[in-house]
Amino acid sequence: MSALSIVIGENTPILRKKTVPIGTITKEIKKLLSDMKETVVVAKGAGIAAPQVGRNERLCIAMIGNKLVALVNPFITWKSETTAIAEEGCLSLPDLWMDVSRSTDIILEFQTEAGKKRELKLSGFDARVVQHEVDHLEGILIVDHRK
Ligand SMILES: [Zn+2]
């Protein structure tokens, strides 16, 4: 595994582009996911999305249940109407901390690195991290949540 360099800046084009779901999970994609995990560990983050390492695939890593989980083609299929506000940072926006309102509970569909389909109901911190990372896959950053 090797840490990748992180794309910085709220107006950087790759961070503003919607990502594309992937078909086959190739060896190259598996290597990318393990490098992305390493990048989160080194940067002491809670997750990272493909655009943050200069890629356009619908892939991210998110801290779920205190573990870094690789999410292939993640989609949030349900969000609770109940929301909560908490401070978030972003590895692509160093030194910025912002209060962001998020749904407290979500249902997430994704595939594992092995291509298995999974559905998870998440709440609290886990739900927040996943919403932040899935936002990245749509080209959305925390600054867009500014009111
Ligand atoms: Zn981020």
Assess contact for 106 and 131: CB atoms under 8 A: yes
- What does DSSP assign to residue 140? -
Sheet holding 47-49, edge to edge: 47-49, 59-64, 67-79, 105-111, 117-123
pLDDT given for residue 96 in this prediction = 95
Q: 13-145 belongs to which homologous superfamily?
A: Peptide deformylase (3.90.45.10)
Which class for 74: exposed (0-12), middle (13-18), buried (19 or more C-beta within 10 A)? buried
Strand partners, 66: none
Is residue 1 over pLDDT 80? no
The tokens of 142 are what? 């925390």
Interval 49-98: pLDDT, tens:
999 999 999 999 999 999 999 999 999 999 999 999 999 999 999 999 99
Tell me, in angstroms, the distance from the centre of ligand 1 to residue 93's CA: 7
* Residues around ligand 1, an ion, CB closer than 5 A: 90
Is residue 43 over pLDDT 90? yes
State the average pLDDT over residues 13-17. 98
The residues carrying an active-site annotation are: 133
Tell me, in angstroms, the distance from the centre of ligand 1 to residue 94's CA: 10
Tell me, in angstroms, the distance from the centre of ligand 1 to residue 106's CA: 18
Q: How many residues are listed for the chain in this entry?
A: 147
Tell me, in angstroms, the distance from the centre of ligand 1 to residue 107's CA: 20
Tell me, in angstroms, the distance from the centre of ligand 1 to residue 40's CA: 11
pTM of the model: 0.97
- CA 32 to chain CA centroid, Å, is 14
pLDDT level of residue 25 (50, 70, 90 thresholds): very high
